[in-house]
Amino acid sequence: MNLRQVRKKTKSVSNVKKITRSMQLVSAIKMKKSQAAAIEAMPYQTHLESMIKKIISKSDSSHSLLFSSVKNAKDKDLVIFVTANKGLCGAFNFNLFRFVGKQIDLDKTDFIVMGKRGVVFILKMGGTILADFSSNTPINNVSAVFNMSLEAFLKGAYRSVSVLYNKFISTLHTEPVLESLLPMQQRFETKIEEKQTGNYLIEPSPKKIIDTLLRSYVEEKIRNVLIQNEAGEHSARMVAMKNATDNANDIIYNLTLLGNKLRQEKITNELLDMVTAKESVEVDA
């Protein structure tokens, strides 16, 4: 590699660095907003789950069709698969894909996909996509996703409905999670001690309230999943772009050293040529 090639490569890497740095700053701004939304939603979601868990333990399964699977339901599962629409976010999407390959039987599972990367992956794996709700604002499609999955569950087309997404834990860490949504008995199968349940007075009556409450809860859970997934995506992309920027700095530094070495070598050779020529002229004289 000569000096001209080194300078050309250094300029190319510098241009790439400008792009990754810009993407890092944009992702950092989006990350702060999405993380704030995810952190603010956590206490509400946790308390809501705890309350519904206690109510279900005291309720009759006849109060809602969401408590258990429909009789004679098909031996298939429905998974709401939430991924990113774009790449350049490290292992964010890959961790989900690896989870699907190891934990999910594609022959007995259909998918409702929210995210273009998930659509491409499921089609490559030969899975069945019931619907594709990929868009730049997926949270606007929550009601449509909920209604479709609920209708399919109540018709007996699937024995269960779950959601697969990347759960936001911290800026540097997200975890693929498969959570059961329907039936409710499967989701809240852990027994609660009598002391913890307490007594709930439900008015006008459990039969009128509980089914509507559970439907709202499932829809809100899907919405919260999208918030968590978005926070994890922007965090992963910010970290990935920061790593790319740091790597570009390292490459530029190494190329600069190489360029200096080549330039010094060129100067040294020119000086040697001048000294050699001078000595040869003096000898001839």
Tell me, what's the pLDDT at 186? 66
Looking at the chain, which runs of residues are DSSP E strands?
77-82, 109-114, 128-132, 160-170, 173-182
Q: Per-residue pLDDT tens for 9-20? A: 999 999 999 999
The C-alpha angle 246, 251, 255, rounded to 5 degrees, equals: 150
Is residue 220 within 8 Å of 48, Cβ to Cβ? Answer: yes
Binning pLDDT at 50, 70 and 90, where does residue 178 land?
very high
Q: Per-residue pLDDT tens for 54-74? A: 777 766 766 778 888 788 889
Tell me, what's the pLDDT at 282? 78
Q: Mean of the pLDDT values across residues 106-115?
A: 95
Give the strand pairing for 160-170 and 173-182.
antiparallel
Work out the mean pLDDT of the chain and round it to a whole number: 88
* Between 185 and 151, the higher pLDDT residue: 151
Q: Quote the radius of gyration of the chain (alpha carbons, Å).
A: 29
Tell me, what's the pLDDT at 209? 80
Rounded Cα distance, 113 and 110, in Å: 10
Poorest-pLDDT segment among 72-76, 166-170, 175-179, 201-205: 201-205
Tell me, what's the pLDDT at 200? 67
Q: Per-residue pLDDT tens for 119-174? A: 999 999 999 999 999 988 889 999 999 999 999 999 999 999 999 999 999 999 99
* Between 42 and 92, the higher pLDDT residue: 92
> What angle do the packed helices 206-284 and 3-58 form, to 10 degrees?
170
Tell me, what's the pLDDT at 43? 87
Is residue 178 within 8 Å of 165, Cβ to Cβ? Answer: no
pLDDT at 194 over 50: no
Tell me, what's the pLDDT at 285? 62
Rounded Cα distance, 178 and 85, in Å: 19
Tell me, what's the pLDDT at 195? 47
